[in-house]
C-alpha cells in the first residue's frame, strides 16, 4: 500500500477566537508506519505458501495484531491546558522525596489517584502545560529560524530571558500608589520585567514518547508533536498547523531501525448550535449597545463651544529636532508670547523646557531629536487661517562680544553671554515702524530648530455659516424639485397679467358705451 503524501509544511498557523479557551479540544492520532506495520501489510496480502507455513504465519499475525493495536497506534482528545503524564513523569513523581515544589506535590497526588483509578489512559501521547519546567526550558532554547547552523544573535539571547507570562497580581497592588517613580539602581530583573513590551501568552506542548515497546520513560525518545500558544487577545498560534486534507506529518527516528511515525492534528472542539450562536450574537449586541451608552454618559451631550465672537485655536505642537550646533547634550528653554488680541486660559503654560538630548551624526550635521510634545490653547477675536498641519524651521542665534577672551573662556570653561531680559528678542508693542534697529547688539548664527504644529480652529461663526449653507442648499433643492410646478406658476401668472390688462382697458371706455353694450346683451 502506498502512503499518502507527507505534509512538509511545519510552520505555525494563527487563529483568532472569542470563545473561552476551556472549550478548545485537539484530536491527536499517531501511528508507526514501519517495522511491524509493514510486515502486517504483507501478511494481509494473499500468497501461495504451504499449509504449514500459513499456520505459523497466522500465529505471528495474531500476536502482531495485538501488539499493533496496543503499541503502534494511539489517539487522544486533549483539552486546553489538560495535563497528561508521561511514563517518565509517573516514575519521577511516584517518589515523594523527588517532589520539592508545590507543583511537584500536586502531581504526586494526582499520580497516586490515577494509580488507584486503574492507571493512566494514555501511553505515548502526553502534554506539558504552561506551569511545567519543560515550557521554560523550551522557550529559552528555541530557535528563530529553520537553519541547522543558526547562531543566536545578541537580540535573541536578550529576548530569551524574557518570560511572556500572565502575571497574577492582587487588586491591592494595582490600587496602591508607587512610592518610587524613579529607580536609581537598575537591575537586570527590573529590565526584563519592565523594559519589554509584550502580550501575556500561555503555552502548551503535546508530545509523544516514541521509545521501543516496553521501554517507555526515556526523555531522549520524547518528540514534540504540536506547540499551542494563546494570548490575552484570543489569538491562537498552532505549530505545526492542523493537518486537514494536507496529509500527515512524519517523524523519522535515528538509530539502526530508522523507524518512521506519522501523526495528524485535528480540531475536536464541540460546534456551537445555531440557537446558541444567535443567543451569543444578541448578547454581544446588547453588550456593545450598553457600552456605547456608558461612553455617551461619560462624554455627555453638551459640546464645549468657544465664547461668542471669538476664535478658539488648539495647537498640538512638537519640537522635532535641532541641528547645526557645535556642542552635544542640548536642551531647549522656550517662551511663548501672545500677540495683540490673543488671549489664553489661566491654566495654560506659555513656557517650558525640554529634556537633554544627545546629538547624532546625520550626513555632515549633528542633529538632536527632541520629539518634545506640547499643547497650546488660545482665543482670538477675529478669524485667522492657521488650521491644518505646519512644519516650521526657525534659525537661532546667540549673543557674542568682541575679542578672543570670551571665546577662549567659552571653549575651555563653558558658558557664554545670556540675555537678562528674554523679552528683548521680541518686537516692542509700541513700535510702529517697518524696520527695528538693533545696532550695537552682536550675535552669531548657531543652528536651527524644527517645529511641527497641528492646529484646530473652533468658532460659532463656523457653525452659523455651515447652517446658512445648509439652509440655502435646502432652498435650492426645493426649487429644483418643483421644476414642473414652476411651469404651471408661469402660465397662471401670464393669465393674471392678461386679466389685469383687460380690466384696465374696460375702465378706460366711456360709461354710456358700457351701459348700451350691457343692455343689448340683456335683451332676449
**Parallel, antiparallel, or unpaired for β 201-209 and 125-128?**
antiparallel
| Residue closest to 96 by CA, chosen among 86, 108, 80 | 108
The answer to whether 467 and 474 have CB atoms below 8 angstroms apart is no
| Confidence band of 4 (pLDDT split at 50, 70, 90) | low
Overall size of the chain counted in residues: 524
Q: Which residue has the higher pLDDT, 47 or 28?
A: 28
Query: How much is the pLDDT for 169?
Result: 43
Tens-place pLDDT, residues 231-286: 888 899 999 999 877 889 999 887 667 788 999 999 998 887 888 888 888 998 99
The answer to whether 132 and 203 have CB atoms below 8 angstroms apart is no
Q: Which residues contact 233 (CB under 8 A, 6 or more apart)?
A: 16, 199
- Report the C-alpha gap between 206 and 242 in whole angstroms: 13
Full-model pTM: 0.48
**Parallel, antiparallel, or unpaired for β 222-231 and 201-209?**
antiparallel
Query: How much is the pLDDT for 356?
Result: 93
Query: How much is the pLDDT for 201?
Result: 85
Asked if residue 428 has pLDDT above 70, the reply is yes
The answer to whether 380 and 310 have CB atoms below 8 angstroms apart is yes
The whole-chain average pLDDT of the chain stands at 77
User: Which uninterrupted H or E stretch holds 474?
Assistant: helix 460-481
DSSP annotation of 3: P
- As a whole-number percent, the residues of the chain with pLDDT over 90 amount to 22
Tens-place pLDDT, residues 104-162: 899 999 999 998 888 888 889 999 998 888 876 666 566 667 777 778 777 776 666 55
Q: Cell numbers at residue 423, please?
A: 523679552
The highest-confidence range among 365-374, 436-445, 464-473, by mean pLDDT, is: 365-374
DSSP annotation of 97: G
| Confidence band of 60 (pLDDT split at 50, 70, 90) | very low
Residue 107 exposed, middle or buried by CB count within 10 Å (0-12, 13-18, 19+): buried
- Report the C-alpha gap between 128 and 108 in whole angstroms: 15
- Residue 404 burial (CB count, 10 A): 8
Tens-place pLDDT, residues 343-394: 888 888 889 999 999 998 888 888 999 999 999 998 887 655 667 888 999 9
Query: How much is the pLDDT for 46?
Result: 54
Asked if residue 303 has pLDDT above 80, the reply is no
The highest-confidence range among 298-302, 322-326, 426-430, 477-481, by mean pLDDT, is: 322-326
Query: How much is the pLDDT for 330?
Result: 92
- As a whole-number percent, the residues of the chain with pLDDT over 70 amount to 73
Q: Cell numbers at residue 366, please?
A: 549633528
Query: How much is the pLDDT for 140?
Result: 57
Query: How much is the pLDDT for 346?
Result: 84
Asked if residue 64 has pLDDT above 50, the reply is no
Instruction: Give mean pLDDT, residues 199-214.
Output: 87
User: Which uninterrupted H or E stretch holds 343?
Assistant: strand 342-343
Asked if residue 101 has pLDDT above 80, the reply is yes
Asked if residue 47 has pLDDT above 60, the reply is no
Tens-place pLDDT, residues 325-337: 888 889 999 888 8
Instruction: Give mean pLDDT, residues 154-172.
Output: 56
Amino acid at each position: 500500500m502506498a502512503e499518502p503524501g507527507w505534509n512538509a509544511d511545519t510552520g505555525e498557523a494563527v487563529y483568532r477566537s472569542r470563545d473561552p479557551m476551556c472549550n478548545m479540544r485537539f484530536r491527536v492520532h499517531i501511528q508507526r508506519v514501519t517495522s511491524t506495520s509493514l510486515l502486517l501489510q504483507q501478511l494481509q496480502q494473499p500468497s501461495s505458501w504451504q499449509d504449514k507455513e500459513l499456520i505459523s504465519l497466522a500465529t505471528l499475525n495474531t500476536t502482531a495484531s495485538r501488539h499493533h493495536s496496543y503499541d503502534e497506534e494511539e489517539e487522544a482528545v486533549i483539552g486546553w491546558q489538560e495535563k497528561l503524564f508521561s511514563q517518565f513523569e509517573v516514575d519521577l513523581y511516584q517518589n515523594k522525596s523527588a517532589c520539592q515544589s508545590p507543583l511537584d506535590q500536586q502531581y504526586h497526588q494526582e499520580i497516586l489517584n490515577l494509580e488507584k483509578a486503574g492507571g493512566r489512559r494514555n501511553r505515548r501521547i502526553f502534554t506539558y502545560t504552561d506551569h511545567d519546567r519543560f515550557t521554560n526550558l523550551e522557550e529559552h532554547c528555541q530557535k528563530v529560524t529553520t537553519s541547522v547552523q543558526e547562531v543566536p544573535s545578541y537580540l535573541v539571547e536578550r529576548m530569551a530571558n524574557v518570560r511572556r507570562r500572565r502575571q497574577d497580581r492582587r487588586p491591592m497592588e494595582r490600587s496602591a500608589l508607587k512610592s518610587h517613580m524613579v529607580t536609581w539602581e537598575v537591575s537586570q530583573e527590573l529590565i526584563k520585567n519592565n523594559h519589554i513590551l509584550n502580550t501575556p501568552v500561555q503555552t502548551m506542548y503535546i508530545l509523544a514518547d516514541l521509545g521501543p515497546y516496553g521501554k517507555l520513560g526515556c526523555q531522549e525518545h520524547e518528540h514534540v508533536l504540536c506547540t499551542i500558544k494563546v494570548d490575552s487577545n484570543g489569538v491562537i498560534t498552532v505549530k505545526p498547523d492542523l493537518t486537514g486534507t494536507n496529509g500527515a506529518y512524519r517523524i523519522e527516528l535515528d538509530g539502526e531501525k530508522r523507524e518512521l511515525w506519522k501523526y495528524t492534528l485535528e480540531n475536536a472542539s464541540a460546534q456551537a448550535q445555531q440557537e446558541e450562536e444567535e443567543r451569543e450574537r444578541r448578547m454581544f449586541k446588547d453588550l456593545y449597545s450598553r457600552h456605547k451608552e456608558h461612553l455617551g454618559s461619560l462624554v455627555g451631550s453638551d459640546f464645549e463651544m468657544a465664547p461668542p465672537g471669538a476664535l478658539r485655536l488648539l495647537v498640538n505642537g512638537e519640537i522635532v529636532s535641532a541641528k547645526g550646533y557645535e556642542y552635544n547634550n542640548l536642551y531647549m528653554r522656550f517662551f511663548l508670547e501672545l500677540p495683540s488680541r490673543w488671549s489664553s486660559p489661566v491654566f495654560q503654560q506659555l513656557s517650558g523646557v525640554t529634556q537633554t538630548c544627545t546629538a547624532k551624526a546625520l550626513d555632515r550635521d549633528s542633529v538632536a531629536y527632541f520629539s518634545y510634545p506640547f499643547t497650546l490653547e488660545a482665543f482670538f477675536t477675529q478669524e485667522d487661517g492657521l488650521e491644518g498641519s505646519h512644519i516650521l524651521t526657525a534659525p537661532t542665534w546667540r549673543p557674542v562680544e568682541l575679542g578672543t577672551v570670551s571665546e577662549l573662556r567659552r571653549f575651555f570653561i563653558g558658558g557664554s553671554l545670556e540675555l537678562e531680559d528674554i523679552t528683548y528678542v521680541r518686537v516692542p508693542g509700541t513700535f510702529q515702524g517697518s524696520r527695528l534697529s538693533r545696532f550695537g547688539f552682536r550675535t552669531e548664527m548657531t543652528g536651527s530648530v524644527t517645529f511641527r504644529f497641528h492646529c484646530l480652529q473652533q468658532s460659532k461663526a463656523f457653525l452659523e455659516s455651515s447652517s446658512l449653507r445648509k439652509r440655502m442648499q435646502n432652498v435650492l433643492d426645493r426649487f429644483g424639485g418643483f421644476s414642473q410646478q414652476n411651469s404651471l406658476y408661469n402660465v397662471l401668472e401670464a393669465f393674471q397679467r392678461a386679466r389685469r390688462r383687460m380690466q384696465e382697458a374696460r375702465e378706460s371706455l366711456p360709461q354710456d358705451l358700457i351701459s348700451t353694450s350691457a343692455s343689448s346683451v340683456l335683451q332676449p
